[in-house]
Structure 1
Amino acid sequence: MRQRGVRESVGSIVLGFELIVLFLGTLVAWGLHAAPAGIVIGGGAGLIVLAIVAILTLRYRIGTWIGFAVQILAVVAGVWVHMMFIVGALFLAIWIYAMYSAERAERIRANQPANGTENPQ
């Protein structure tokens, strides 16, 4: 079985939690009649599908960029549901921090010896 990288693991956690928020945000937009029902449900479903595609492609660099697109579109959803400006901005900040930290952790992991004797005493 393939070992997942740090970026893939952390990114899938962030996007997994965001899937719940996107689903609930879609329900809120639908309940508030923020736009016609077809547009709200279609837009929410499209954003959820995009997040799932990002999770499935996180092993490649394009997955990170698709994840960034999900974050930006979540912020843009604030046009219809104003609270999404805040929620989207929070998830964007979490995403940026997670991707930065994962990249740093992968660099550190790549520079350590494979045999586990990095700190002999």
Structure 2
Amino acid sequence: MEGDRMSGMARSRAPRSIKQTLGSIILGFEMIVMFLGALVIFGLKALPAPVALIGGAVLCLIIVATIPLLRFRWGYWLGWAVQAAIVATGLLVPMMFLVGGMAAAVWTYAMVQGDKIERQQALYREAKD
């Protein structure tokens, strides 16, 4: 009985878009990188321990919270804000400008290519019908 209910819930959910999938993957990797970055900053004593650890934890939580919000159009804007926050960590530790810049570049590429793929899929479906 429970299996039927679960499969019914799974079927009612709209399929994830390519852009949403790519965004989720990128944010997931960025969360890992930011967690490890916070540990490195803590270990190098580049910032006071509470700033490094609590700041890193807050940024990781924001990233994790953004992932399910990508199902909404405004979730992508939140994703862009996360990219800006990651780049802004370079104001505290200059090496993070490089990490943030690479993260923003990968996010930008994923968003541009995701849009492109979804447009091509829409044209294909339209031509098929």
- For normalisation by structure 1, the TM-score amounts to 0.86
Alignment gaps of 5+ in structure 1: none
The code of the aligned residue for 2:53 comes to I
SS at match of 2:125: coil
Conservation of the 8 A alpha-carbon contact between 1:29 and 1:80:
no
Structure (1/2) with the larger helix percentage: 2
Which of the numbers 9, 16, 33 marks the counterpart of 2:45?
A: 33
The answer to whether the aligner puts 1:20 opposite 2:27 as a matched pair is no
Aligned pairs, number: 117
Deviation (angstroms), 1:16: 0.9
Distance 1:80 1:113 in 2: 48
Deviation (angstroms), 1:71: 1.2
- For normalisation by structure 2, the TM-score amounts to 0.81
* Runs of 4 or more consecutive aligned structure 1 residues displaced over 6 Å after TM superposition: none
Which of the numbers 72, 87, 107 marks the counterpart of 1:95?
A: 107
Which of the numbers 46, 64, 69 marks the counterpart of 1:52?
A: 64
* Aligned pairs (5 A) from 1:61-100: 61-100=73-112
Which of the numbers 19, 24, 27 marks the counterpart of 1:7?
A: 19
RMSD, matched Cα = 1.8
Alignment gaps of 5+ in structure 2: 1-9
SS at match of 2:105: helix
The code of the aligned residue for 1:23 comes to F
The code of the aligned residue for 2:64 comes to I
Q: Which residue of 1 aligns with 2:119?
A: 107
The code of the aligned residue for 2:77 comes to W
SS at match of 2:71: coil
Deviation (angstroms), 1:113: 2.5
